Amino acid sequence: MDVQEVFPTTKVLVIGDIMLDRYIRGVVERISPEAPVPILLQDHVDAHPGGAANVAVNLHQLGAEVYLAGVIGRDAHGAVLIEALKSLPIDLRYVLKANRKTTTKTRVMAASQHLLRIDDEERSDLDDALEQEMLQLIKRAIANIRPDIVVLQDYNKGVLTREVIRTTIALAKQIGAFVAVDPKYRHFFDYVGVDLFKPNERELFGALKMVEMDRNALQEGVKRLCHELGARYVVVTLADRGMLIYEGHSIHHVPTRPRIIRDVCGAGDAVLSVLALSLYHGYDVVSAAQMANAAGGLVCERPGVCPVPTKEWIKEVRAMGILVR
């Protein structure tokens, strides 16, 4: 069985904050005499697509026909990112190059130990001219592609402005596309009328300015959010506790199984990708969450940002007894 039997070919447009994830790897053998910090003997540096680009990679891995839209800089990190994506059949014609930094996260690693992360980025919204260019590009993309699913991946790095968000949702709805969102804090309540809204627990409580974080408060927060956004599904990821799902007037808690966690980077991108595809293709919401939990868990078992390992994922999904088509 391959992934096409789980998800038939689907056209997906991913819009959002495109990033580069860099890893400086090596070993630590001593502490610096200059300050009480470890000295890393660098072995090698590797780089991978991150943010919205990692969502695109996951969707490709899951059999989708993927188009990516966003902004990168005319800089060395942008060139590395494009080169990494060129090896995959992901359509990049809607990626803008601008006089703006390519968002780059550099993680310093000693074996599997995470020593430091360095972020090099611009977090301000696109300026007016670039926002207009982005809006025109999105209009062309939706008209030309007519995607089945539109994914908005928001890391608050400035691409998904209020106008970009609202215009994209309106255009997607005009063609009947399924709209899936992974939000951050800044434009949390601008995603009105989407099909899938997937914050994590911290984002939910932060956006709703809730202090209590017990189960009852969490359920009330999910209900309130679903009412305010008019979303079809609200799925709150709870790390090792699984997911809480609000659908219509029903709440479901879908636990995950214990795993040996090596790195949580990229797990949310895998979860969003599987949720969007499975809900679009008619899997019930509990089965979709179980499939997404499996994907996120498998990613967490691996070091660094990586896409869903599909063969292992299909094996786990089948073992759950979910009807795989």
Residue 2 pLDDT level (bands cut at 50, 70, 90): confident
Check pLDDT > 70 for residue 261.
no
Structure tokens given for 188: 């949390």
Nearest alpha-carbon partner for 299 in 253, 265, 250: 265
pLDDT of residue 225: 87
pLDDT at 28 (0 to 100): 95
- pLDDT at residue number 211: 73
What is the reported pLDDT for 188?
93
Q: Given this model, what pLDDT does residue 227 score?
A: 85
Q: What pLDDT was estimated at residue 220?
A: 83
Residue 322: which pLDDT band, with cuts at 50, 70 and 90?
Answer: confident
Q: Where are the domains of the chain?
A: 3-317
Q: Indicate if the pLDDT at residue 260 is higher than 80.
A: no
The pLDDT mean for the chain works out to 92
Of 15, 59, 13, 277, nearest in space to 165 by CA: 15
Per-residue pLDDT tens over the stretch 57-106: 999 999 999 999 999 999 999 999 999 998 899 999 999 999 999 999 99
- Which residues are part of the catalytic machinery? 269
Q: What is the pLDDT of residue 52?
A: 97
Q: How confident is the model at residue 323 (pLDDT cuts 50, 70, 90)?
A: low
SS3 for 59-94, per residue? HHHCCCEEEEEEEEECCHHHHHHHHHHHCCCCEEEE
| pLDDT at site 312 | 92
Say which residues have a Cβ less than 8 Å from residue 112's Cβ, sequence separation at least 6: 262, 263, 303
The answer to pTM > 0.85 is: yes
| Tokens standing for residue 225 | 């959010």
Write out the DSSP string of 243-293.
Answer: EEEEETTEEEEE-------S--TTHHHHHHHHHHHHHHTT--HHHHHHHHH
User: pLDDT for 231-250, tens place per residue?
Assistant: 999 999 998 888 999 987 78
Q: What is the pLDDT of residue 224?
A: 85
Measured CA angle at 264 (ends 83, 51), to 5 deg? 35
Task: Work out the average pLDDT over 153-179.
Answer: 97
pLDDT tens figures, 124-139: 999 999 999 999 999 9
Band (pLDDT 50/70/90 cuts) for residue 305 is confident
Other beta carbons within 10 Å of 40: 17
At the top level of CATH, which class does the domain 3-317 belong to?
alpha beta
